[in-house]
Amino acid sequence: MADKMDVVVVGSGAAGSVFAATLAEAGRSVLVLEGGKSRTLDDLYSSQIWARRLKTGAAMVEETGKHPIWYNFNSGHGYGGAAMHHYGVWPRYHPEDMKSQTLYGRAIDWPFEYDELRPFYDQIQADVGISGDAEAEIWRPPGDPYPLPPILVNQHGEAFAKGFKEMGLHTSPIPIAVLSQPYKGRPACIWDGWCDAGCPTGALANPLAVYLPRAQAAGAKLQSESTVTRVLMNQRGDRATGVEYYDAAGERHVQEAETVVLAAFTVENPRILLNSGKSDSAGGVANSSGLVGRYLLSHAAVMIYGMFPQETNSFFGATGGQLFNQDGYAKDSDEGAYGSRQWEIGLATKPNDLLGIAMSRPDIYGEALHKFMHDGARHLGAMVGVCEDQPNVENRVELSSTKDRYGLPLARTVYEYSADALKLWDISAQEGVAITRAAGATDAWHGPLGGQHIMGGTIMGNDPSKSVVNRYSQAHDVSNLFIGGGGVFPTSSCVNSTFTLHATSLMSAQFMCDNWSAVSA
């Protein structure tokens, strides 16, 4: 059996890399077990076919319910996880997102207020280098100014900006974890629009560019092709002793550790917990509340497209977009639906694949598609509207009766968007098309309902009967077990989740460092 570690981190993605770097730099021995393959930035290729290798290769997820959550689109596998091909749009949650119940009598309050998370947002943005304009971003919650000036705005962003202005709406530079200038040894973006294939230069703050190198420099060990299946518990069932995992040859191993951090993405974390501790407790580990897997959350997203008379050259730029709008953020606006919504404007668009030019018109073939692709290559514009959904205990991850190659039940998701989210989606779809027309596009249309950013399932709270983890992402039932990722969010807001899950992970990892003797005892 391998040496016992201070910390075993499950998953090398966004959350796992923050935990690994913070704990290793504090002198803890850290092992990161990653189910997928090892890779470095040099292994990445800017090609849509190659980019599919970044998608999940792990056990399949059965998606059920009225609205699938698009697990395959949202997940990733191998060093860096989904964060390897994420687009780096990094806005902050707003203070009211964490106090919905107190302020509006809706949803669930977080166990802390925005001001408590703010220093962790500020620390993370200083670490990774976010580009933006804090003053022009009039909706932005309090925080340090961005470390870097805004990213490029070209004809694509300018085309849409005209439409927003015509409609009396604002735009600001997008807050994005893409370097507009060299920063801390990493190069500036070259605007080639390949973020979806994993930025090979290190200009985008994915785990291989920032926190994994820091973790390794501080002595953390990374181990690929090590799929964790269970958290192992002591006899009393109140402390984790380590994890069980399987290597590439299908051989079972046990890794002992003083503390366990589950950072295997929103759907896999509950699956591991529900599959654990079967001999001792029927409902899995850390599940005295019965809420492991519950309150799953997803954003309802709508892609908007326009064909412009002038050139947009949308193949150019960062995939996450150029401009930003949160004019629709007020949850209790008179739009007829509760919740927030936002726009990410001018997404760099390549010819093929899910978010490519071809898939914006899946209804046309042959000559019509040929002409559309020809025109779209230089004249298409794309933006995305993202809408908040409300926490619902019936939206969940549960175990399937189908087993994976190790004999463990697969995850099954059950999801249905709230009436509020569907109405916000509808409002966004209509508004987006109207903006695009006002911008002068000769044709404007929207895509179907899509799921973005999977959250919830292991939510945080003060009351152990109503949540799985506390304010420090520490399991209420198991004091040396921590959860990393958006799974701990009790509400989704409408903002992209990765900046906030970096901040909650840093808060949690810092708590572990500061209280090491208590959490490891």
Ligand X SMILES: Cc1cc2nc3c(=O)[nH]c(=O)nc-3n(C[C@H](O)[C@H](O)[C@H](O)COP(=O)(O)OP(=O)(O)OC[C@H]3O[C@@H](n4cnc5c(N)ncnc54)[C@H](O)[C@@H]3O)c2cc1C
CB of 422 to ligand SF4, least distance (A): 32
**Residue 58 binds: one of ligand X, ligand SF4, none (C-beta under 5 to 8 A by kind):** ligand X
Contact 318, 205 (CB under 8 A): no
Tokens of 445: 């249309």
> H/E element holding 158?
helix 155-166
Residue 349 to residues 14, 51, 318, 352, 353: CA-CA distances in angstroms? 24, 14, 9, 9, 10
Which residue number is nearest to ligand X in terms of Cβ?
13
83 binds ligand SF4 (CB under 6 A): no
Query: What residues are paired with 304 via a beta bridge?
Result: 383, 446
197 binds ligand X (CB under 6 A): no
Nearer to ligand SF4 among residue 315 and residue 343 (C-beta): 315
| Terminal C-alpha separation, the chain | 22
**Residue 194 binds: one of ligand X, ligand SF4, none (C-beta under 5 to 8 A by kind):** ligand SF4
Tell which positions 179-238 bind ligand SF4, by CB under 6 A.
Answer: 189-195, 199, 201, 203-204
Nearer to ligand SF4 among residue 28 and residue 350 (C-beta): 350
**Residue 258 binds: one of ligand X, ligand SF4, none (C-beta under 5 to 8 A by kind):** none
What is the distance between the alpha carbons of residues 369 and 72, in angstroms, rounded to a whole number? 26
Q: Residue from 22, 131, 172, 227 that binds ligand X (CB under 6 A)? A: 227
Only segment of 101-109, 152-160, 427-435, 498-506 that touches ligand X (CB under 6 A)? 498-506
Query: What residues are paired with 96 via a beta bridge?
Result: none
CB of 108 to ligand X, least distance (A): 20
> CB under 8 Å to 364, separation ≥6 — which residues?
372
**Residue 10 binds: one of ligand SF4, ligand X, none (C-beta under 5 to 8 A by kind):** ligand X
**Residue 428 binds: one of ligand SF4, ligand X, none (C-beta under 5 to 8 A by kind):** none
Nearer to ligand X among residue 35 and residue 432 (C-beta): 35
CB of 198 to ligand SF4, least distance (A): 8
Q: Where does residue 119 rank: exposed (0-12), middle (13-18), buried (19+ CB within 10 A)?
A: middle
Sign of CA pseudo-dihedral 281, 286, 288, 294: negative
Sign of CA pseudo-dihedral 104, 108, 113, 118: negative
Nearer to ligand SF4 among residue 44 and residue 296 (C-beta): 44
DSSP 411: E
3-class secondary-structure state, position 397:
strand
What is the distance between the alpha carbons of residues 162 and 346, in angstroms, rounded to a whole number? 12
Residue 456: name the closest of 117, 10, 175, 110 by CA: 110
Tell which positions 145-164 bind ligand X, by CB under 6 A.
Answer: none
Residue 433: name the closest of 443, 418, 422, 420 by CA: 443
Q: Residue from 19, 70, 87, 164 that binds ligand X (CB under 6 A)? A: 87
318 binds ligand SF4 (CB under 6 A): yes
What is the distance between the alpha carbons of residues 112 and 293, in angstroms, rounded to a whole number? 22
What is the distance between the alpha carbons of residues 150 and 178, in angstroms, rounded to a whole number? 9
231 binds ligand X (CB under 6 A): no
**Residue 82 binds: one of ligand X, ligand SF4, none (C-beta under 5 to 8 A by kind):** ligand X
**Residue 195 binds: one of ligand X, ligand SF4, none (C-beta under 5 to 8 A by kind):** ligand SF4
Maximum separation of any 2 CA atoms in the chain, in Å: 70
CB of 501 to ligand SF4, least distance (A): 20
DSSP 141: P
Tell which positions 48-77 bind ligand SF4, by CB under 6 A.
Answer: none
Nearer to ligand X among residue 121 and residue 265 (C-beta): 265
Tokens of 42: 């040099």
**Residue 36 binds: one of ligand SF4, ligand X, none (C-beta under 5 to 8 A by kind):** ligand X
83 binds ligand X (CB under 6 A): yes
> CB under 8 Å to 236, separation ≥6 — which residues?
none
Phi/psi-derived region of residue 393, left when phi > 0, alpha when psi is between -120 and 50, beta in every other case: alpha
Q: Residue from 6, 9, 22, 76 that binds ligand X (CB under 6 A)? A: 76
CB of 349 to ligand SF4, least distance (A): 12
Nearer to ligand X among residue 208 and residue 233 (C-beta): 208
CA angle 165/146/178 to nearest 5° reads: 80
Binding mask 293-332 for ligand X (x = CB under 6 A): ---------------------------x------------
Q: Residue from 20, 33, 98, 212 that binds ligand X (CB under 6 A)? A: 33
Binding mask 120-159 for ligand SF4 (x = CB under 6 A): ----------------------------------------
Residue 266: name the closest of 430, 397, 398, 431 by CA: 397
CA dihedral 106→112→113→117, nearest 10 degrees, is -130
List of residues contacting ligand SF4 (CB under 6 A): 178, 189-195, 199, 201, 203-204, 318-319
List of residues contacting ligand X (CB under 6 A): 10-16, 33-36, 58, 74-78, 81-83, 85-90, 196, 227-228, 263-265, 268, 272, 320, 453, 485-486, 496-499, 501
